[in-house]
């Protein structure tokens, strides 16, 4: 029969495999909280991300999880201790009494929350602290030393997985971002077109625009001036869009804004605001606007808006054409 210690180490190995296989860093706190609860049998978990100057609670589960996360004095004390020593867990019980230790003085707060015991394990590699895994329970009792050791190994393995996942997410972001303007670029736009569904996706308006006579700017003033105009226009248009609208630079001086849950008429007014905003940068833009319909998916709406952009050019530029 497998010993409890051996069973615990097996759980640590399985948790490490799961943490390394997550698809996104947004899944990390939930996965880590679940691993900590499974390993220890404690009913509540809080996962805290720790940055150079601040900390943020990312996950709170179990009967006391939310209440514990909301007790900032407790979380702040645990984070402060982890910053001082990122290699060791802190174990607290509600009946601890040490007036000289500011952390132990939080025992009264634990009693108020109905927490009988708590363990806080740094998510760290050496002195590089990424977060904190806090586990708690309303059942009294001591945590075995080997269980605390397993938590500390889990914390170190989790930190490594967290670091790798964050780096991968950053690479994915860079692969989808235009390095000049910081906007999403053509690949991300194609993914958006491919992911649009006529049943589950909202009505979406496409605003396709480019900078009028952009080649003349490059030829007359140089490519550095052209780049600065692209950046200025991107910022100006971003400034008039809503937070849930998306702006893409899909190539050269061509951009697409996708706007959800508006009528074509409202999209036309937004396009005119974009035209005015671009003019304030010293350039001008022509815009084609089209919306998805029952017969027209997002790719077709983009094609229609692109055609409307050509009509706007023919109409004299610095104008909006809605189809």
Active site residues: 253
Q: What whole-number distance in Å separates Cα of residue 134 and Cα of residue 118?
A: 7
User: Residue 97: left (phi > 0), alpha (psi -120 to 50), or beta?
Assistant: beta
Q: What whole-number distance in Å separates Cα of residue 45 and Cα of residue 118?
A: 10
Pairing of strands 184-185, 246-251: parallel
- Sign of dihedral through CA atoms 215, 218, 224, 229? negative
Could you please report the per-residue DSSP string of 124-168?
EETTEEEEEEEEEESS--PPPHHHHHHHHHHHHHHHHHHHHHHHH
Angle between helices 4-21 and 145-176 (to 10 degrees): 10
Angle (CA) 140-34-154 rounded to 5° is: 85
φ, ψ of residue 203 to 5 degrees: the values are: -55, 130
**Which residues on neighbouring strands pair with residue 93, listed in sequence order?**
117
Q: Residue 158 corresponds to which tokens in the numbers above?
A: 């989790």
Q: Residue 194 corresponds to which tokens in the numbers above?
A: 């491919």
Q: Residue 295 corresponds to which tokens in the numbers above?
A: 């017969």
Angle (CA) 62-65-70 rounded to 5° is: 160
Q: What whole-number distance in Å separates Cα of residue 76 and Cα of residue 80?
A: 6
Q: How many CB atoms sit inside 10 A of residue 263's CB?
A: 11
């Amino acid at each position: 029969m497998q010993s409890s210690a051996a069973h615990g180490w097996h759980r640590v190995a399985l948790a490490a495999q799961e943490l390394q296989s997550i698809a996104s860093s947004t899944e990390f706190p939930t996965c880590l909280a679940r691993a900590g609860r499974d390993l220890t049998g404690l009913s509540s978990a809080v996962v805290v991300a720790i940055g150079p100057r601040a900390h943020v609670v990312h996950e709170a589960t179990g009967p006391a999880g939310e209440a514990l996360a909301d007790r900032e004095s407790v979380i702040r004390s645990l984070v402060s201790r982890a910053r001082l020593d990122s290699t060791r867990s802190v174990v607290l019980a509600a009946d601890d009494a040490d007036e000289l230790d500011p952390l132990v003085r939080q025992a009264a707060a634990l009693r108020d929350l109905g927490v009988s015991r708590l363990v806080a394990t740094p998510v760290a590699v050496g002195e590089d602290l990424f977060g904190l895994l806090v586990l708690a329970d309303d059942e009294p009792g001591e945590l075995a030393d080997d269980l605390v050791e397993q938590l500390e190994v889990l914390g170190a393995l989790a930190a490594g997985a967290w670091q790798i996942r964050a780096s991968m997410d950053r690479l994915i972001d860079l692969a989808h971002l235009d390095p000049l303007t910081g906007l999403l670029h053509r690949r991300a736009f194609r993914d958006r077109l491919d992911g649009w569904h006529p049943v589950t996706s909202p009505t979406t308006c496409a605003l396709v625009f480019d900078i009028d006579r952009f080649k003349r700017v490059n030829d007359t003033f140089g490519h550095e001036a052209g780049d600065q105009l692209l950046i200025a226009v991107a910022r100006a248009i971003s400034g008039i869009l809503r937070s849930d609208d998306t702006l893409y630079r899909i190539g050269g001086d061509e951009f697409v804004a996708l706007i959800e849950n508006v009528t074509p008429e409202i999209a036309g007014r937004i396009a005119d605001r974009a035209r005015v905003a671009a003019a304030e940068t010293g350039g001008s833009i022509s815009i084609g606007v089209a919306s998805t319909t029952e017969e027209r998916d997002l790719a077709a709406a983009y094609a229609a808006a692109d055609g409307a952009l050509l009509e706007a050019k023919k109409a004299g530029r610095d104008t909006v054409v809605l189809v």
